[in-house]
Amino acid sequence: MNDMDTDTDAGSDTCLALARPGDTLPEIHFGRISRATLTLYAGASGDHNLVHIDTDFAREAGLNDVFAQGMLSLGVLARVASSWGGADRIRRLSGRFMAITPVNADLTCSGEVAERLEIDGQPHVRVNLVAEIIAPDASRTRTIAGEAIIRTN
Amino acid sequence: MSDTIFPPRGLFNRATTGLKTDPIFFDVEAGRISFFAETLGEDDPVYHDRDDARAAGHPDVPAPPTFPCVVDLETSRIAKRMGRTPIYDLIGCDYTRLLHGEETYEYFGPIYAGDRVSFTTEVVGFEDKKGGALETARLRAEIRHARRGLLVAIERVLVHRLN
C-alpha cells in the first residue's frame, strides 16, 4: 500500500501521542442492562446489595424495581479509556454518579480528550468520560460524569 | 419542648470518623478477573487468558481498572467471616437508602492474577447535603502488595437518601 501503513504499526500509541483536546474516543455501546446482567455483575463484583438483584427486596424498600450497580456502568466507562489508551497507562480514573440506571436501560459510554498536561515530566491527557442511558425516543440521560488521566508516551 | 430532632442526624454512624480497618488479605484469581471482565463486556484476551497476557508483556492476567471494587467487597465479606464487623456495617449503611456518589482510583502499579493483596479502609468523614435530604460518607482505601507496595488508592463517596 503506501508508506503510511508501515507507520500505523505503532497504532494507538501514535494516536495517543498526537491526541488533542476535542478528539473523541471510540464509543462503547453496551446495550440493554437486563436482570441477568445485574445478577451476573453482582456475582462477579461481589456487590450482593439486594436492591440490584431482588425485585421483592427493592419493592419492600419502596422502589419500583431493581436498578443497576453504579460500578457496572463505571466498569464499562473505564473500557472507553483502557481500550483507547491502554489500561496500564491510566493513572487516575474517577466517576460521579448523576442518576440511577433502571433495569433494562440501554447503556452507552463515550469520552473526549479535554487537555494535554504534564505530570512528573511525563506527557498525559485528561479525558472526560460520560455514561448515558438512551431512552426509546433516543433522548439521553447522563448517569456518570467521569474522568481519566492517561499517560501518552 | 418539642421532641423532634432538627436538623436530622442521619443514619451513618458518624462516631466512626477517623476509623481505620486492619488489613484483610485477598488472593487475586485469574478466573475471577475473567468473570468480572466478561460481565463488563470486556473481551480483550489479556483479561481471559494467561498466555495472551504474557504475550502482551504481563507476568500474568492483569486486573481491569475497576477491579479494586471486587477486592473491596470481597475483603468486606472475608472480614465478616473472620468475625469482624465489615466497614459498611460499621459506618451504618442502610441498603434501602444507599446510593453510590463518587468513585476514584489512583493507580500506582498493576494488580495481577496470583497476587496476594491487602485492603484497608479509612473513614474520612460525613457530611449533610441538600439541606439534610442527603448525607454522605467519604472513605479512603488502599490496595497494597507486600513487595510492590501501594498499588491502588481508592476514594469513595456513599450517599443515604434521608427522605
Q: Residue B23 has which C-alpha cell?
A: 488489613
Answer yes or no: do B104 and A92 touch at CB < 8 A.
yes
- Cα separation, B76 vs B160, in Å, equals 20
Q: SS3 sequence, A84-109?
A: HHCHHHEEEEEEEECCCCECCCEEEE
Cell 492476567 locates to B61
At CA B77, angle to CA B91 and CA B106, rounded to 5?
A: 70
Which amino acid would we find at residue A35? R
Chain B residues bordering chain A (beta-carbon distance below 8 Å): 32, 35-36, 38-42, 44, 62, 64-66, 69-70, 72-74, 76-77, 95-107, 110
Three-state DSSP state, B12: coil
Residue of A nearest to B72 (CA): A46
| pLDDT value of position A84 | 96
Architecture of domain A3-34+67-151: Roll (3.10)
**Cα–Cα nearest to A42, from A61, A9, A14, A68:** A68
The predicted model gives A32-50 an average pLDDT of 97
Q: Contacts of residue B69 in chain A, CB cutoff 8 Å?
A: 45-47, 71
- Give the domains, in start order, of chain B with CATH numbers: 14-28+63-161 (3.10.129.10), 29-61 (no CATH)
**β partners of residue A110:** A130
Residue A3 has pLDDT above 50, yes or no: no
Domain boundaries, given as residue ranges, for chain A: 3-34+67-151
Which amino acid would we find at residue A118? E
- Cα separation, A45 vs B140, in Å, equals 19
**pLDDT averaged per 10 residues in sequence order, chain B, 163 residues:** 52 96 97 98 98 98 98 96 94 92 98 98 96 95 98 97 88
Going B68 to A46 to A70 to B92, the CA torsion angle's sign is negative
Q: What are the two backbone dihedrals, phi and then psi, of residue A58, each rounded to the nearest 5 degrees?
A: -60, -45
- Cα separation, B139 vs A114, in Å, equals 28
Three-state DSSP state, B135: strand
Three-state DSSP state, B102: strand
Q: Residue B97 has which C-alpha cell?
A: 437508602
Please name the member of A62, A92, A97 whose beta carbon is closest to the beta carbon of B99: A97
Q: Residue B45 has which C-alpha cell?
A: 484476551
Peptide bond between residue B7 and the one before it cis (omega within 30 degrees of 0): yes
| pLDDT value of position B2 | 41
pTM: 0.92
**Cα–Cα nearest to A34, from A125, A107, A116:** A107
Sheet architecture: strand order including B24-27: A24-32, A106-119, A122-134, A140-151, A90-97, B98-107, B149-161, B134-145, B116-129, B24-27
Answer yes or no: do A70 and B105 touch at CB < 8 A.
no
| pLDDT value of position B10 | 85
Interface of A with B in 19-58 (CB under 8 A): 28, 30, 37, 40-41, 43-51
| pLDDT value of position A15 | 78
| pLDDT value of position A10 | 38
**Cα–Cα nearest to A61, from B95, B162, B135:** B95
**Longest CA span, chain B:** 73
What is the separation of C-alpha B154 from the centre of its chain, rounded to a whole number of angstroms? 7
Q: Residue B155 has which C-alpha cell?
A: 476514594
Answer yes or no: do A45 and B62 touch at CB < 8 A.
no
Cell 487468558 locates to B49
| pLDDT value of position B163 | 80
Q: Residue A35 has which C-alpha cell?
A: 436482570
Q: Contacts of residue B100 in chain A, CB cutoff 8 Å?
A: 69-71, 97
> Is residue A13 very low, low, confident or very high in pLDDT (cuts 50, 70, 90)?
low
Q: What are the two backbone dihedrals, phi and then psi, of residue B52, each rounded to the nearest 5 degrees?
A: -65, -40
The predicted model gives A75-95 an average pLDDT of 97
Helices (H), chain A: 3-7, 12-18, 35-45, 55-60, 70-85
- Cα separation, A36 vs A49, in Å, equals 15
